[in-house]
Amino acid sequence: MLPSRLPDPDLYLPRTGEPSLRWGIVGPGWIAGEFAKAVRTHTAQQVVAVASRSLERASSFAATHGIGHALGSAEQLVTHPDVDVVYVATPQSEHLAIGLAAIAAGKHVLIEKPITVSAAEAKTLAGAARAAGVLVMEAMWSRYLPQTSVIRTLLADGVLGEIRTVLADHGQAITADPQHRLYRPEFGGGALLDLGIYPVQFASMVLGAPARVAAVGGMTKTGVDAYSTLVLTHEHDAQATLHTSILARTPMTAVIAGTEATLSIDGSFYTPTSFTLSSAEHGGPQLTWSDPTGLRLFDGLSWEATALARFVGEGRTESPVHTLDENISILATIDEARAQIAAS
């Protein structure tokens, strides 16, 4: 039986006791711009510096977003005395090196997804972070959205019963340009690392690490995975079917199906959105949830920034809702899927 009402989300609200940290951005690209706007508008955090290999590019970004320091290298930023947290928004091939440099400088670090390009690299990063006692977190913003809090509560309360099936997909029509970063293996390109990580982390959140991974798909002429379907086998007769592609835009929806109820998340499931909880009984009752906060699209990046500040204020060295060990496990799943696709 469905509950009479859906639970309220546990929000990472700004100005609720978290420290106001000083942030530096490495990599002034599109996502960094969206992050800077969200932080400035919806948090108590401060972006004080930005770095790029091109000082001209850093200066332009700083002027656009009202940032005080424009720097010509990542090394200058991670060692800057005014920076408490480094946000890494470079191509993923650079995530490990910049993350390690920031850790060595004693900074907390938020690294865009994927946190690194392999499970082995993620282990190296996690080991360095733990040894240094700083907080390192993947910028998997979906984990910090209001809807995710509600979904976690429903799962913890057993409202869906025994989970049997997870479905999720993320496909974007990326221009087939061999110079585009997603088509370049040296930049950590391919569908799975950049887009497919959203469905994989979603299945991980619901079901944990899989016992088996089966992947089919295809490669681009440049040598990265272009599309794939993953079937993940879990304990207790549970299965996840996940799809990703850089060749076509897909609905980007997700489903969690249990013995008592089914939860269907509207596209794009990894952004602020809505969902419907339906009784397992055919034609049974439904409850619909919509984000009540008014934050839409990339405004939702603000939640992860406030979450990191809260965790720092609590003395944590990793996210309690997206741990470093889970980062490693998710990348191990992607490693195996990529290997199977490349070998097929």
Q: How many domains are contained in the chain?
A: 2
Query: Across residues 315-340, what is the average pLDDT?
Result: 98
Q: What is the pLDDT of residue 241?
A: 98
Q: Residue 340 pLDDT more than 90?
A: yes
Mark whether 179 and 270 lie in a shared domain. yes
The answer as to whether 306 is a domain residue is no
- Neighbouring CB atoms inside 10 A of 328's CB total 20
Mean pLDDT over each residue of the chain, to the nearest integer: 97
Buried b (16+ CB within 10 A) or exposed e, 210-245: beebebebebbebebbbbbbbebebeeebbbbbbbb
Q: Please give the DSSP secondary-structure letter assigned to residue 142.
A: G
Cis peptide bond N-terminal to 210, omega within 30 = no
Mark whether 40 and 164 lie in a shared domain. no
Q: What is the pLDDT of residues 176-200, one digit of tens each?
A: 999 999 999 999 999 999 999 999 9
Query: Across residues 69-78, what is the average pLDDT?
Result: 98
Q: CA 191, 193, 194, 195 torsion: positive or negative?
A: positive
Q: What is the pLDDT of residue 296?
A: 95
Question: CB within 8 A of 268, min separation 6: which ones?
Answer: 170, 252
Domain final residue, candidates 108, 141, 174? 141
Q: What is the pLDDT of residue 1?
A: 81
Residue 112 binned pLDDT confidence (cut-offs 50, 70, 90): very high
Q: Residue 111 in 3-state DSSP?
A: strand
Mark whether 208 and 277 lie in a shared domain. yes
What is the pTM assigned to this prediction? 0.96
The answer as to whether 10 is a domain residue is no
The answer as to whether 16 is a domain residue is no
Mark whether 86 and 109 lie in a shared domain. yes
Q: Residue 344 pLDDT more than 90?
A: no
d(CA 83, CA 107): 8
Query: Across residues 120-129, what is the average pLDDT?
Result: 98
Q: Residue 198's closest CA among 275, 126, 251, 257?
A: 251
Query: Percent of the chain at pLDDT above 90?
Result: 97
Q: Which residues are catalytic, by number?
A: 113
Q: What is the pLDDT of residue 330?
A: 98
Helices 95-104 and 119-132 pack at an angle, to 10 degrees, of 10
d(CA 35, CA 301): 6
Lowest-confidence pick of 48-52, 105-109, 272-276, 283-287:
283-287
- Residue 238's domain comprises 143-294+323-343
First to last CA, the chain: 45
Q: What is the pLDDT of residue 274?
A: 98
Domain final residue, candidates 141, 159, 177? 141
Mark whether 177 and 106 lie in a shared domain. no
The answer as to whether 17 is a domain residue is no
Query: Across residues 60-87, what is the average pLDDT?
Result: 98
β-pairing, 212-219 vs 163-171, is unpaired
Q: Residue 282 pLDDT more than 90?
A: no
Alpha helices in the chain (DSSP H): 30-42, 55-65, 74-78, 95-104, 119-132, 146-156, 191, 197-207, 301-313, 324-343
Mark whether 49 and 166 lie in a shared domain. no
Residue 283 binned pLDDT confidence (cut-offs 50, 70, 90): confident
42, 12 in Cβ contact below 8 A?
no
229 beta partners = 216, 243
The answer as to whether 154 is a domain residue is yes
- CATH classification of the domain holding 283: 3.30.360.10
Q: How many helices (H) and strands (E) does the chain have?
A: 10, 14
Domain final residue, candidates 141, 158, 190? 141
